[in-house]
Amino acid sequence: MDKLVKVEGELVVKDGTGRMIEFYEEEFILDESVDSVDKARSLIKKGLITERLQRKVSGFKAVRTVKVISIEDSEEKADDSDLTKAMLKAIELNCVPQNIDSYKRTDYKLKALEKAITAQEERNAKKGE
């Protein structure tokens, strides 16, 4: 069953007078492979929250903190996008690029994740030889 993950945290917003810190709360529906708080937080922080807040908050600059409040079973279906799948695979292989949240476009994030996954799989294959 898919999971409803509730998160909260702080974000940086730039307005005419400078930068301010604001509070946010968001909900994400993730697939059943996200079974721990650490995995959910990593997936949301590295790949999903920045994009969503950029669309919702005018003057959005950056996410400061992400805290998972709860993980519950959900009847709704998870977004089964290529980005989510690639992010889960990168988390599993422990090869998520450090700067992945700075990419503004989804296709750039996806390309960077695929490159990191391919490189990690090649390294793992060499270790296995």
The CA distance from 9 to 91, in Å, is 21
pLDDT of residue 82: 81
Helices (H), 1-129: 37-43, 49-56, 82-93, 106-128
What is the domain extent for residue 118?
Answer: 3-128
The count of domains in the chain is 1
pTM over 0.75: no
The pLDDT tens digits for 85-121 are: 888 888 888 888 888 877 878 888 889 999 999 999 9
Report the candidate in 25, 34, 24 with the shortest Cα–Cα distance to residue 74. 34
pLDDT of residue 83: 79
pLDDT of residue 129: 62
